[in-house]
Amino acid sequence: MKLWLHLAVALVVPLSAHAQARKPCEDLKSEIAKKMDAQGVASYTLDIVDKGKDTDGKVVGTCDGNTKKIVYRRGTTPAAPADTAKPSASQ
């Protein structure tokens, strides 16, 4: 009886882990963002990058079958420079 139980556990656990590993990156990113917003984190960015790429920031999750990672950075990305107004022609 114990043999069957161990065999069942040995077969079911890897299957459930495999099902969790195939989570799409956008879904995981939105889940992480919800948790951070609930914790009151004000300004941050979450970026999806390839697993082997070096990046600044903290890895907070992996997705797409462990081929990509989600990286957290404090603060927001720099805003685009403001448009400079063209001087009006005075008469």
Region of 78 please: left (phi>0), alpha (psi -120 to 50) or beta. Answer: beta
Residue from 21, 34, 14 nearest 62 by CA: 21
Residue of higher predicted confidence among 64 and 83: 64
Whole-number Cα distances in Å, 62 to 10, 30, 31: 24, 13, 12
pLDDT for position 75: 83
Q: Determine contact, residues 87/54, Cβ cutoff 8 Å.
A: no
pLDDT one-digit tens code per residue, 31-82: 999 999 999 998 999 999 999 898 889 999 999 999 999 999 998 644 444 4
Q: What is the pLDDT of residue 55?
A: 87
Query: Residue 60's pLDDT is what?
Result: 94
